[in-house]
Structure 1
Amino acid sequence: MQRMAATSGRLWVDDLMASCLQVVGEGIAGGGFCQIGPWRVPGAFDTRAARRYNASLLRTPRRSEREEATIRNAKPNRTRRTITLILGTLLSLLFLWLAFRQVHLREVWDALRQANPWLVGAALGAFLATQGVKAARWKALFYPEHTARRFGKLLRVIYIGQMVNAALPARLGEIARAYLLARIEAISAAYALGTVVLEKALDSLMLLLVVLVTSIFMPFPSWVKGSSLVVSGGMVALLAAMTVLSRWEGRLPAWVVRVAGPDSWLGRMGVMAALQRAALSLRPLKSLRMNLILWGWSAGNWALMILTNLLAFWAFGLRLPWTAAPLLLAILNIGIIVPSSPGRIGVFHYLCVLTLGLYGVDPALALACGIVLHALVYVPIFVLGAYFLWRENYDWSRLAELAALENP
């Protein structure tokens, strides 16, 4: 993997250096600063040349035949993925046993038959609406080029990424959708991945807010609070750092140049250029208006997910305290860190039984509700994800392989 990455970086680092030298060569003697990528650097460079270099950061560098051959011939780390899949399958079987051990299948079936189909349909509509909100937020994350991003294309890529997440271990779907959008829209993969990281940081902070607000009205189990802090803490710190970096207008610090500059081994692999491309995703954080839009879409996304849970409860005649829906949502999101089989079978169902049990819900009824919620979430993801993957004329095995290569 390292040899492939090094080869890949060396193949186009010459082009990057040539662009930098061209910008420097077109500079005009004098003082002041010039905007190169997300930073200002010393020297009065020609404005036209600087703009041309900045624009080049948004484009995916053209690969040579040699590089394409290297990617085609490289094999992902299949052993690690196989071990993760086996471990996840064993854990799924364990959680399935935990979910079904205290219930009679006849009682579960009776509860499923009595579910209100209209409310189940409304819950499905609420879930589908969350996908539209996610696409709108992702579009805003490309500010100020957000008008060039197409809502329908982003929505299709989100479904494809979620399908990859559900079907493969290690949450490769986030990398897969960034890679796929970069290929479809002809933009930098590092830039697209930077928007995904920012999106996950926003969701992590929303998860933390949901847990903190809900815990005021209902004592949460200690493991829920602790797990939410572990899941959200790192991403919240990352979001804070990204916000600070987005507003920093000074020079590139010397340690960055030393660690990832052109003369370092990271620089020779193209890391500096990738960081510059990824840093373009921080630009929305510099705009108060875009911050409000992003937080508005994030709040709407989580509100719709809570509504999905609430409608599912009502479909089974469950009139629970309002804290039940956000609590279940928080626990299901925390449960993502548990390895499982494709579709989170077993883990999802047991967490539903465990959470609703805190409110005194019968295990058979809680399991039936979990089965319906699981179907509402994963059936659309697999069906629409597979359809959109076919629409984009992209091979599944190829997408999974390239996603694994990006996350060796």
Structure 2
Amino acid sequence: MKKKMGIKIAVGLAITTVMIYMAARALGGFDPRMLFSSNVNWWLFLSAVLLFVGGQFFRVFVYPYGIDRKLSFGISCRIVLVGNMANLLLPLRAGEGLRFAFFPPRYSAPRRTRLLMMPGGTDVVVILLLSMLAVPLAAGNMHPSTVHMLKMAGIILAVLAVAVVVVGLLVGRFRRMIHRYCTLGFARTVGWVFCSWVLLLISSWVGLLAFQLPPAEAIRMAFAVFATSNIIMFIPSSPGGLGVFEYAVVLSLHFFGVPEPTAIPIALLLHLVQYAALLPLGTVAYLTGLHLQRHAATALHKSV
């Protein structure tokens, strides 16, 4: 498996290089030096990276302090951080599939699937709830289609919530299934996922502040960017959403009157925050996992 993963990461890096080139062409052939020649507060950039890192660790808490307390913190780190790093390097969010490989061997495929789907489904709901806050905060500065989509999502979530309650009251089997999954551990999972996304939202706000934008206006921009980028990123695309993420940010800032020559460096910096946080974290988690595997194999060989 190590060899296969190494090949996948190498191929992913090659694809990422191509996608960076294509994204540059799509965004008007910008010069990456635009970002470094901009008036950026790099201390605030570093703060945004640290906030993003904090958000990742809240997400790691989902397993050992949430839905599966039998999983160690180290294994949870590899499931979350290596998977997120792989999503930056591989197209079509292939990192989601790699997460399966980091569960203990005794975990069956259905159990792994359930443990990945529970926080994944919570992600979707939390992202939509936080994004819906952009409607009252920045509705006048958002694409009408995005506002309409968020309003429809709010209606759908409300209908689904009512449907779950009604079906749970009327159908005993469904009620028992709800009781099985609605545990204290799942409640903690929802809390960790929520805290994770809130920190990522704050990270975007601090990243916008790095360009000396007014703090109050930057909050509205952060919600608009968060909503638009995450809705677009629901569709699997290029590694790390290269080009797609930048387009979402530029589109969001356009409705705030931010010209494209200014919006592109902002988009690059917000995306750089993700890479600066996830690549080191994922690499350390992956290498630590390899070291532990070698150590366990050596110990087993000596004991035989």
- Please indicate the TM-score interval, normalised by the length of the shorter structure: 0.7 to 0.9
* Shift in alpha-carbon separation, 1:174–1:293, aligned structure 2, 3 A: same
| Corresponding residue number in structure 1 for 2:247 | 350
How far residue 315 of structure 1 moved from its aligned partner, in angstroms, is 1.1
Larger radius of gyration: 1
Moved segments of 4+, more than 6 Å: 89-92, 103-106, 229-249
> In the superposition, relative to structure 1, how do residues 244 and 378 fare at CA in structure 2: closer, same or farther (>3 Å)?
farther
Is contact 1:182–1:192 with CA below 8 Å preserved after alignment? no
CA distance in 1, matches of 2:70, 2:199: 27
- Give the whole-Å Cα distance in 1 for the aligned partners of 2:43 and 2:218: 22
Contact 1:205 1:232 in 2 (8 A): no
User: Does the 8 A contact of 1:201 with 1:238 survive in 2?
Assistant: no
For residue 302 of structure 1, what is the aligned residue in structure 2? 197
Counterpart residue number, 2:188: 293
Counterpart Cα distance in 2 of 1:182 and 1:347: 35
Match of 2:274 among 377, 383, 393: 377
Structure 2 gaps of 5+ residues are 2-10, 292-304
Which of 41, 45, 55 is matched with 1:130 structurally? 55
Cα root mean square deviation, aligned = 4.0
Give, in whole Å, the separation in 2 of the partners of 1:388 and 1:317: 34
Q: Name the structure where helix makes up a greater proportion of residues.
A: 2
Kept in 2, the 8 Å contact 1:306–1:325? The answer is: yes
1:224 aligns with 2:146: yes
Question: Which residue type is aligned with residue 360 of structure 1?
Answer: G
- The equivalent residue for 1:161 is 83
- Cα–Cα, structure 1 residues 190 and 297, in superposed 2: closer, same or farther, change >3 Å? same
After TM superposition, the structure 1 = structure 2 runs for residues 67-216 of structure 1, keeping only pairs within 5 Å, are: 93=22, 95-100=23-28, 108-111=35-38, 114-142=39-67, 146-183=68-105, 186-216=106-136
Once residues 204 and 127 of structure 1 are traced to their aligned partners in structure 2, the CA distance between those partners, rounded to angstroms, is: 18
CA distance in 2, matches of 1:230, 1:239: 14
Q: CA deviation at 1:168?
A: 2.5
Q: CA deviation at 1:283?
A: 3.6
Letter aligned with residue 372 of structure 1: L
- Paired residue type of 2:199: L
Query: Normalising to structure 1: TM-score of the pair?
Result: 0.56
Asked whether the equivalents of residues 246 and 267 of structure 2 are also in contact (C-alpha less than 8 Å), the reply is yes
- Shift, 1:202, TM fit: 1.1
Question: Which amino acid in the other structure matches residue 126 of structure 2?
Answer: M
| AA aligned opposite 2:203 | T
Would you say the 8 A contact 1:200–1:235 is kept in 2?
no
Distance in 2 of aligned mates of 1:161 and 1:236:
31
Residue identity over aligned pairs, in percent, reads: 23
Corresponding pairs, count: 274
Would the alpha carbon gap of residues 393 and 311 (structure 1) be closer, same or farther in structure 2, given more than 3 Å must change?
Answer: same
Map Cα deviations across residues 172-228 of structure 1 (whole Å, 9 max, x no partner). Answer: 322321332143xx3223212212211121111112212322202322323224555
Note the C-alpha offset of 1:129: 0.3
Q: Point out where structure 1 has 5 or more consecutive residues left out of the alignment.
A: 1-70, 72-81, 253-278, 395-408
My pick for the range that moved more, 366-375 or 383-392, is 383-392
Question: Alpha-carbon deviation of 1:344?
Answer: 2.2
Write the distance in 2 (CA, Å) between the matches of 1:338 and 1:127.
22
Q: Per-residue displacement from partner, 1:8-54 (whole Å, max 9, x unpaired)?
A: xxxxxxxxxxxxxxxxxxxxxxxxxxxxxxxxxxxxxxxxxxxxxxx
More displaced, 324-333 or 305-314?
A: 324-333
